[in-house]
Amino acid sequence: MRRTRTLTGIGIAAVTLLALTACNSGSPSGGGEAPDAEVADDVALEGSPTYDAMVERGGPIIGVKEDQPNLGYLDVTTGERSGFDIEIARWIAGSLGFSEDDITYEPIASANREQALVNGDIDYYVGTYSITDQRKEQIDFAGPYFVTGQGFLVSADSEMTEVSDVSDFNGMTVCSATGSTPIQNIKENFPEISTEEYDIYSACVDDLLSGKVDAVTTDAAILIGYAAQYPDELTVLDGLFTEERYGVGIPKGDTALLEHINTLFTDGGDKWQEIFDATLGQSGIEVEQPAVDPVE
- Catalog residues that contact ligand GLU under the rule CB under 6 A: 110, 127-130, 177, 180-182, 218-219, 244
**Rounded Cα gap, residues 196 and 86, in angstroms:** 28
Nearer to ligand GLU, 114 or 168 (CB): 114
Nearer to ligand GLU, 97 or 113 (CB): 113
Shortest spacing between CB 232 and ligand GLU, in angstroms: 25
What is the CB neighbour count within 10 angstroms for residue 202? Answer: 17
Nearer to ligand GLU, 95 or 279 (CB): 279
Shortest spacing between CB 127 and ligand GLU, in angstroms: 6
3-state secondary structure 42-58: CCCCCCCHHHHHHHHHC
Nearer to ligand GLU, 243 or 274 (CB): 243
Shortest spacing between CB 56 and ligand GLU, in angstroms: 29
**Rounded Cα gap, residues 129 and 218, in angstroms:** 12
**C-alpha distance from residue 100 to each of 95, 103, 186, 288 (Å):** 12, 5, 38, 27
Shortest spacing between CB 229 and ligand GLU, in angstroms: 17
Q: If 0-12 CB within 10 Å is exposed, 13-18 middle and 19+ buried, where does residue 73 land?
A: buried
Contact 162, 253 (CB under 8 A): no
Question: Helix-strand-coil percent breakdown of the chain, rounded to 5?
Answer: 40, 20, 40
Nearer to ligand GLU, 149 or 281 (CB): 149
Phi, psi of 275 (to 5 degrees): -65, -45
Shortest spacing between CB 270 and ligand GLU, in angstroms: 26
Contact 125, 108 (CB under 8 A): yes
Residue type, 110: S
Nearer to ligand GLU, 54 or 142 (CB): 142
Shortest spacing between CB 223 and ligand GLU, in angstroms: 10
Cis-peptide into 144, omega within 30 deg: yes
**C-alpha distance from residue 59 to each of 56, 94, 103, 231, 248 (Å):** 8, 10, 5, 39, 17
Contact 240, 151 (CB under 8 A): yes
Shortest spacing between CB 40 and ligand GLU, in angstroms: 28
Nearer to ligand GLU, 24 or 110 (CB): 110
Shortest spacing between CB 210 and ligand GLU, in angstroms: 22
Nearer to ligand GLU, 109 or 160 (CB): 109
**Rounded Cα gap, residues 202 and 216, in angstroms:** 10
